Structure formats: structure tokens, C-alpha cells
Amino acid sequence: MTANPSAELLDSLLTVAGQTTAVREEVRVWSMSGVERVTFRDGSTAVFKYAKKPFDCEDQALRLAHTLGVPVPQIHASAVLDGWLGMLMEDLGASVREADDLDGVAAAVVLHGTRTAPPLPVLDQERLRTLPARALEHLERLRKADRWQDADDVEDALDQIAQATEARAAGATLAPFGWVHSEFHPTSLHIGKHGWRLLDFARAFTGPGLLDLASWHGTIDPPHPVRLRVFLEQYVTAGGTPDALVPRGGLTAENWALGWHRMWAVEWFMEQSIRWINDPDTDPAYLKAVRRHLTGVLHLLEI
């Protein structure tokens, strides 16, 4: 696979868009994706975003969301080259302010009220139950590669969670169940002069909308069930389904949401560690994050 074919991708996209050259300016770049602003000869601009697997289907998700009426940036052109996706998108310009909690619930109500889209992967109750087992499979692969050798505590925690999933995953398909953005944070909500746009659909799926609401306040600080409860109540007041407040899996809605969101994150971190990033130098950081989240899962899911 090409290390990073962004120049070739941009050339292809410029051809499709009827442009010849563009000046590139980095906005945010990391190992698996990048966002740039490109300026054309006539002074107009667009956003150039590129990403490799598993983020290479975002153009499909964005087009689908747009078709279904979700406010998202418009895609001018997209192309895939050597496993990398490139997109030329509408440049929304600078945001007028940061998104707050009321912006978040308003966007979530619109997204979760959108009809389910068949092309999206599905995370239902059965799939939710398999997350600990899938994480254990990632751990086994890491150990076969002589990595994560001192992670017996991670294995023990995942075993405990796996045994409790039958009961704790119950209620996964209660409303809101449908579109899940999965990177639902204030930074993914652009507030412009003419309204809001939802960004970053690279990992969208069909599943429990509560996972979006649980992700809004981030995962750096310890999980805060009371804060999420207030957010859930704001969501219902803004027009979200009252079922968002209903207990599930023998837990309060907020504990269920925070616990399963952390479990979802653990499985993703571990898959990223062995499959997508696959760099032993990142192991200490990933292991630290996994341990922190597992502690939260055990507490929140009352295991």
C-alpha cells in the first residue's frame, strides 16, 4: 500500500472538479488521515480530506446523510487510490463559536430521527455482546506478536465483562436506535453563520443512539453519569425520544450508555493497536487507555 498518496489523490479530484492546480494548507494531519484547505486559482477554496482504511467509506456515509436530510458538508468529488479515500468538500470556513450542549442535543435529535440506512454496519444487542470477546481476540493476536505481555489484568477484566454481557447488553435496540455518528464530540459539530453542519462520519453505523450521547463529553475525564443524565434530559426536551431515559440491561440509561461506550472504545483501541496502527511504540499509550476505560466499564456496568 502506498505510504500516503495524497498528492495523487488530489490530482485526481482536481481533474474531476475541473480544476488544474491548488495551493495546499494543512489543517490537521495524523498517520491515518489528514484535512487540508485547498485554494484554487480563482481564489475559491475547498476542504481536501484523505484517510486510509478503516476510514475509507466516509464519502458514502456523508452522501447518504445528505440525501436523508442531515446537515453535512457537501462533497464535490471523491476517489479511492491504493486503499486511501480522498474527498474534496465544501469549505465551511471558520466556526463562529464552539458547539455547546444544546447544540449537541439539537444535532443528535436530527441525526437519530433520520431513517435507518441499510449500507451502514449494524451494532445491535448481539453485536454489542461480542465486543469483549472480540477484544480478547485482539489481545491474543497482540501476545502472539510478543506485545502486551504484562496485560493479564486486561484479560481478566474482559473475561468478567464477557460473562456479564447477556444481562448487560439488554435494551440495545430500544429507541433511539438507528444512525450513530460514533465520533460525536463538540469538535465534530461546525457552527457557522448559516447554521450547523455535522462532520466526521468515517465510522458511522446503525446502533444505540445513546452511544453518541455518551461520547459527547469525551473520554479524557472520568465518566460522569449525573452530567450525562442532564444531557439525556436535554435531548428529550429538544425532541428526542423519551425512551432515551428508560433503564436498560438492569442499569440506568446513563450508566448503560457510558459503560457500553467505553467497552466499544476498548475494542476499537485494541483493534487499532494490532490491525490499523500496528506500531509497538504506541503500546504503552494504548494499554494505558484500555486499562482506564476497562476500570470504567466494570464500575458503570456494575460487574
pLDDT at 3: 65
DSSP state for residue 73 in the 8-state scheme: P
Residues 234 and 269 in one domain: yes
pLDDT at 25: 92
The strand pair at 195-198 and 189-192 is best described as antiparallel
Q: Which of 92-96, 273-277, 294-298 has the weakest average pLDDT?
A: 273-277
> What average pLDDT score do residues 107-129 get?
93
Which of 89, 120, 146 is where one domain is finished?
Answer: 89
DSSP state for residue 203 in the 8-state scheme: T
**Helix H or strand E segment including 58:** helix 58-67
Contact 17, 78 (CB under 8 A): no
The strand pair at 195-198 and 177-180 is best described as unpaired
232 within some domain: yes
What distances in angstroms separate CA 286 from CA 83, 109, 157, 220, one per listed residue? Answer: 25, 32, 16, 13
Residues 40 and 109 in one domain: no
**Residue keyed to cell 479515500:** 85
Which of 66, 89, 112 is where one domain is finished?
Answer: 89
12 within some domain: yes
Residues 126 and 192 in one domain: yes
Cα angle for residues 182, 188, 194 (degrees, 5° grid): 135
CATH code of residue 10:
3.30.200.20
Handedness of CA 247, 250, 252, 256 (dihedral sign): negative
Q: What is the pLDDT of residues 218-232, one digit of tens each?
A: 999 999 999 999 999
**Residue keyed to cell 479511492:** 80
Which of 31, 66, 89 is where one domain is finished?
Answer: 89
115 within some domain: yes
CATH code of residue 200:
3.90.1200.10
Confidence class for position 158, pLDDT limits 50, 70, 90: very high
Residues 84 and 200 in one domain: no
Global model pTM greater than 0.85: yes
pLDDT at 2: 47
1 within some domain: no
pLDDT of 277 above 90: no
Judged by DSSP in three states, 146 sits in coil
Q: Give how many domains the chain has, as a whole number.
A: 2
Find the domain containing 63 and state its range: 6-89
CB crowding 248-275: b at 16 or more within 10 Å, else e: bbebbbbbbbbbbbbbbbbbbbbbbbbe
